[in-house]
């Protein structure tokens, strides 16, 4: 049997693929954070709670209203995104002109309130969300058994990541957005409604978190604390990639998924700290992050 660093080759490829799957998932979540920070300079600490809300929205849509997964894939991000619009319009906008740290504190407080409320309502044991019929089962790749649903997560995450990057970096709308955050007075003089643009951007970023939640619902148990651990990891990913860099967030997400996946094979005890170790090293060597511009 071929061995790679003391692990059978087949097992090694399997772990690599799993790392890539988790990485795609990190990429999707850190993308939302990077969009919100890059364009609005808001450090969105309620991203984890909004991810959890996405999963719960899908769960409640199915269990209360009987609305299936495919519809929830669009509806849940829309609902949670609208909630994001309200948060931006009535809370974040009031503190937009002062230090960013206040935005961080506000969103962190919101996250605790949301998580606490859901814990009170639903308990922490979580609920099951079934894998949609079309995506059940798996494929035997020879070196591992790949559940179809996991492959689906990668496809959706990569398509969405590419789409968002394209929209922000290559389209006219993205251009307005970047210009509006650079110099909002000038853009408003040109007749662009910058406050509306800002509100919609925040809502969009929140919607991305919720989409992550819907994708996660069938593989993890839907529970109020599902976002709290993930949030910190995803923040580390954004910091490593360079705060606000969209390409950085996507590529670092994939990379960190792989790093974490391999740690789970070689030294599982360290799997929840390895990303932070990488973060510390990157901050020491390149304070602006791997893909950040300037310090």
Partner 1 sequence: MKMMKTVLATAIASSFVMGATAQADDHGMSDNELRIGYLADMSGTYRDLAGPNGETAMRMAIEDFGGSVNGREITVLSADDRNSPDVASSTVREWIESDKVDMVQGLVASSVSIATTKVTNGTDTLALVNGSAASSITNEHCTPNHIHWTYDTYPLANGTAQAVVAEGGDSWFMVTADYAFGHALEADVTKVVESNGGEIVGGVRHPLSTDDFSSYMLQAQASGADVVGLANAGGDTVNSIITAGEFGLAQSGQTVAALLLFLTDVHALGVETAQGIQLTTGWYWDKDEEARAWADRFYEETGARPSMVHAGIYSSTMHYLKGVEATGSDKAADVRAWMADNEINDMFAQGGYVREDGRMVHDMYLAEVKTPAESENEWDLYEIVRTIPGDQAFRPLSESKCPLVR
Q: Contact residues for partner 1 (CB under 8 A)?
A: 8, 10-11, 14-15, 18-19, 21-22, 116, 119, 123-128, 131, 138, 144-145, 147, 149-150, 219-221, 223, 225-226, 229-230, 261, 264-265, 268-269, 271-272
Alpha helix segments (H runs only) across 91-245: 100-122, 148-170, 172-182, 184-189, 194-216, 226-241
Min separation Cβ 40 and partner 1, Å: 28
Min separation Cβ 292 and partner 1, Å: 27
User: E strands of 70-178, at which residues?
Assistant: 138-140, 145-147
Both structure tokens of 36: 């919100």
CA dist., res. 27 & res. 33, Å (int)? 10
Closest CB to partner 1 among residues 7, 179: 7
Closest CB to partner 1 among residues 211, 246: 211
Closest CB to partner 1 among residues 219, 247: 219
Min separation Cβ 235 and partner 1, Å: 15
In sequence order, the 6+-apart residues with CB closer than 8 A to the CB of 142 are 10
In sequence order, the 6+-apart residues with CB closer than 8 A to the CB of 286 are 292
Min separation Cβ 120 and partner 1, Å: 9
Closest CB to partner 1 among residues 30, 245: 30
Min separation Cβ 47 and partner 1, Å: 15
How many C-beta atoms lie closer than 10 Å to residue 276's C-beta? 14
Closest CB to partner 1 among residues 132, 138: 138
Could you say which DSSP state residue 287 is in? Answer: T
Cβ 156 vs Cβ 217: under 8 Å? no
């Amino acid at each position: 049997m071929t061995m790679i660093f003391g692990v059978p080759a087949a097992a090694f490829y399997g772990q690599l693929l799993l790392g890539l799957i988790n990485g795609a998932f990190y990429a999707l979540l850190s993308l939302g954070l990077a969009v919100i920070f890059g364009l609005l300079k808001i450090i969105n600490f309620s991203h984890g709670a909004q991810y959890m809300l996405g999963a719960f929205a899908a769960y409640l849509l199915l269990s209360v209203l009987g609305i299936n997964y495919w519809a929830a894939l669009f509806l849940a991000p829309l609902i949670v995104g609208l909630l994001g619009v309200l948060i931006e319009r009535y809370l974040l906008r009031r503190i937009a002109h002062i230090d960013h740290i206040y935005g961080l504190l506000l969103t962190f407080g919101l996250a605790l309130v949301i998580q606490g409320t859901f814990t009170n309502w639903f308990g922490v044991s979580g609920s099951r969300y079934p894998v949609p019929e079309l995506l059940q089962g798996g494929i035997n790749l020879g070196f591992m058994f790949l559940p179809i649903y996991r492959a689906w997560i990668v496809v959706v995450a990569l398509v969405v990541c590419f789409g968002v990057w394209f929209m922000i970096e290559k389209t006219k709308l993205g251009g307005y957005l970047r210009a509006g955050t650079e110099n909002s007075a000038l853009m408003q003089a040109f007749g662009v409604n910058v406050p509306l643009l800002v509100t919609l951007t925040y809502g969009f970023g929140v919607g991305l978190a919720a989409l992550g939640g819907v994708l996660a619902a069938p593989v993890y148990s839907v529970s109020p604390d599902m976002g709290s651990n993930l949030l910190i990891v995803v923040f580390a990913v954004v910091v490593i990639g360079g705060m606000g860099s969209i390409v950085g967030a996507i590529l670092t997400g994939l990379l960190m998924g792989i790093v974490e996946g391999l740690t789970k094979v070689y030294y599982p005890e360290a799997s929840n700290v390895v990303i932070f170790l990488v973060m510390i090293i990157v901050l020491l060597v390149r304070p602006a992050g791997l893909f950040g511009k300037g310090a």
